Amino acid sequence: MSLIRQIWLLLLATVLMAFLGSFGVWMVSARGYLETQLRLKNADNAQSLALSLSQQRGDVPSMDLTIQAMYDTGFYKRIALRDGSGRVMFVREADPRIGREQVPQWFVDLVPVESAPGVAQVSDGWRALGQVEVVSHAGFAHEQLWQGSLKTLSLLALLGVVSGGIATMGVRRIRRPLNDTVGQAQALMERRFITVEEPRVPELARLSRAMNAVVVRLKSQYDEQASMVEHLRQQAHCDALTGLSHRRHFMAQLGAALVDEESSGDGVLYLVRIVDLGGVNRLLGHRMTDHLLQKLAAILEEISSGVTGAATGRLNGGDFAVCLTASDVPLPEPEYYADAIRRAFAEQALKASVVVGSASWRRGMSMQQVLAAADSALAKAESRGAFSVEQVVLDSPQARVMGEDQWRRRLTAALSERRLHLMRYPVVDVQGAVVHLECPARLQLDGEGSFEPAANWLPMALRCGLVSQIDEMAVGMALAQIAEDGQARGVNLSPASLSDSSFVPRLRALLLTAPEAASKLWLEVAENAALEHFELVRELCKQLRPLGAKVGLEHAGERLTRIEFLFEAGLDYVKLDASVSQGVAHDKARAAFVSATAGMLHGLGLKVYAEGVQDRADIPALHDCGVDGVTGPAVSVA
């Protein structure tokens, strides 16, 4: 039984006992008072009648008339005159129900009122004639007692209602902080850390203060771990001077972009080179050259910041690179980079110049092919002089050939005909057991065509506003497949789907139809969704995790520590991006970063998995770093 219900029962029992006790005391007091009044009245009337009878000097007819006159003028149950031997000489008796016609019989039986007889001696001088007995009617006392009971009950009931209202307000005042504290405890169980306002009730205030202190301490520990992880990330991934990704990490980012099936599938690589860095260093000096490199890095990051998933890096001394993936946001042209750098150098009187080479790429191209094309463009630009730009343009992908209306018709037809297929890529734990199957969606755009990865249709699905319908269908298919074979499955959700206000309620209704399958469903969103739309991710966790579904982040690691309230999100797991997890077997700095990240996430009660593992040597190294499971081309199921 809940505490609130116990309090309610205690209040109800207290009020009921007070009600019954008050009514009982009043009833006993009122009955005693009425019986006393009847006894005194009977005694007085008996004395008065005895005096009148004594004046008759034994005249029987006169005594009879006197008794009759008194009986007729009062409310008496019985008047009797006995002689000296106890024989009844005269008696007058009335119906015992007189005066209580409106009183229920059960009340008379439950609360009897005794009318004690009044007795007095009748004499003729010194000669005793007998004694008279007078008993007043108790029916009128019962009627007064009944009417008083009704009024008392009404007043006590009104008082009970008022007391109940006051008690309700008091219980609500207690319930609110109790509910807050219970919610805070439940949030801790769900790995969400929230603080609540301290109530005015001293006992509850101490409890809330202790719970808040636990949350604050956990948050402080998380902040410390996040700072340490960020420091290790910079050591493992970043160039010490500029803060950009160093060559190895940038190559890992580029490689992940080239095989990413959830992006638009095409993009561009820019190579930026400072012309004659050695000469610039001799001219400006070491300190100014460092400032020049830092300024160039800041410009590249500023221009690329508006593109989701942009990667910038310093490849070597004076060579920088920018990798952009196509999206609905127009990508900056290479001329824009050259002009922005020229203006910045001119403003600070930096005597240096750059050249820019660019090459477009599509998913599936090899890294060597893209780098060779961009390097060739860079060489041509360098031969043309300062701030020159050269581009290598490949054929436009199919997404840019067809119009939006044609894409909308194809996507709508594919959805209506349910031409959607879920792939199966295993995620295995340390023992090699399958944790769940990753199930990226494939769409058959043409009735007789092949099922194509998201990179080929996702950009236009976003533009047409059909992504949430695709994600909903993918979840429905995953639930159906789980019901068939009992194998847990993971489905990726687009951030655009979370922005659809009706998507999460539809998803919740879908999971409610298959509760058993829902307990084996893994839903994941990209790291940038938690960074840019944290409230939407938290609401997703709040709505779906109670149904048994697990919610996590994918492609995480680069900006994980920048998610300010990650400890409040209520997630179940995190999947580290391939650019983070690759090469840990041969790079101690990267291994240290992965280990620290796993430790931080384990401290929040989250499972940690690694994506895109291509080198089998990385698998045991990742396990040594604390990673709970891996997935990728190098993973095989026994």
pLDDT over 50 at 493, yes or no: yes
What is the pLDDT at residue 9? 83
DSSP code of residue 50: H
Which residue is listed with tokens 């890095």?
297
Angstrom distances, CA of residue 63 to CA of 48, 74, 91: 13, 17, 11
pTM score: 0.66
Q: What is the pLDDT of residue 323?
A: 94
The whole-angstrom separation of Cα 458 and Cα 196 is: 42
Average pLDDT, the chain: 85
Distance CA 424, CA 436 (A): 9
Structure tokens at 471: 């994600």
**What is the structure's pLDDT at 397?**
44
Angle at the Cα of 367 from the Cα atoms of 366 and 370, rounded to 5 degrees: 90
What confidence score (pLDDT) does residue 228 get?
Answer: 87
d(CA 447, CA 338): 46
Nearest to 273 by CA among 353, 210, 330: 353
Average pLDDT over residues 438-443: 93
The top-scoring range by mean pLDDT among 16-20, 60-64, 435-439 is 435-439
Contacts of 528 (CB under 8 A, 6+ apart): 308, 309, 495, 555, 559
Give pLDDT, residue 470.
94
Task: Taking residues 171-189, report their average pLDDT.
Answer: 77
Give the separation between CA 42 and CA 33, rounded to whole angstroms: 14
- Cβ neighbors of 402 (< 8 A, separation 6 or more) are 410, 460
In sequence order, what E strands does 303-413 have?
311-314, 319-325, 354-362, 389-392
Which has the higher per-residue pLDDT, 140 or 403? 140
Per-residue model confidence (pLDDT) at position 398? 44
Find how far residue 453's CA is from the centre of its chain: 34
d(CA 37, CA 136): 10
Residues 573, 221: Cα–Cα separation, whole Å: 19
Which is nearest to 478 in space by CA: 468, 492, 467? 492
Residues above pLDDT 70, as percent of the chain: 94
Coil, strand or helix at 420: strand
Nearest Cα residue to 86 out of 48, 114, 119, 52: 119
Residue 433 is predicted with a pLDDT of 93
Task: Say if residues 78 and 139 touch (Cβ distance below 8 Å).
Answer: no
Q: Which two tokens stand for residue 269?
A: 């690589």
Grouping H, G, I as helix, E, B as strand and the rest as coil, residue 612 is coil
Half-sphere exposure of 329 toward its Cβ, with a 13 Å CA cutoff?
Answer: 12
Interval 132-141: pLDDT, tens: 888 887 777 8
**Digit-coded pLDDT (tens) for 291-346:** 999 999 999 999 988 787 789 999 999 999 999 987 767 788 889 999 999 999 88
pLDDT value of residue 399: 40
Using the predicted structure, report yes or no on whether residue 400 has a pLDDT greater than 50: no
pLDDT at 394 over 70: no
The pLDDT value recorded for residue 150 is 87
pLDDT at 622 (0 to 100): 95
Instruction: Let me know: does 351 contact 284? Beta carbons within 8 Å.
Output: yes
pLDDT (0 to 100) of residue 312:
94
**Partners of 576 in the beta sheet?**
556, 610
Q: Rg of the chain over CA atoms, in angstroms?
A: 47
Q: In the structure encoding, which two tokens stand for residue 186, read together?
A: 């439940």
Closest CA to 466 of 413, 513, 514: 413
Model confidence pLDDT, tens digit, residues 581-612? 888 999 898 999 999 999 988 888 899 999 98
Residue type, 591: A
According to DSSP, the residues that pair with 426 across neighbouring strands are: 437
The pLDDT of residue 604 is 82
Q: What percent of the chain is modeled with pLDDT above 90? A: 34
pLDDT for res 366 = 87
Q: What's the rounded mean pLDDT across residues 176-198?
A: 75
pLDDT at 1 (0 to 100): 65
Residues 551-558, mean pLDDT to the nearest whole number: 89
Least Cα distance to 596 among 571, 554, 561 occurs for 561
User: Tokens 């946001």 identify what position?
Assistant: 329
Top mean pLDDT of 85-94, 142-151, 486-495 is at: 486-495
Residue 94 has pLDDT above 80, yes or no: no
239 by DSSP, 3-state: which? coil
Q: What are 434's strand-pairing partners?
A: 428
What was the pLDDT predicted at 311? Answer: 92
Residue 395 has pLDDT above 60, yes or no: no
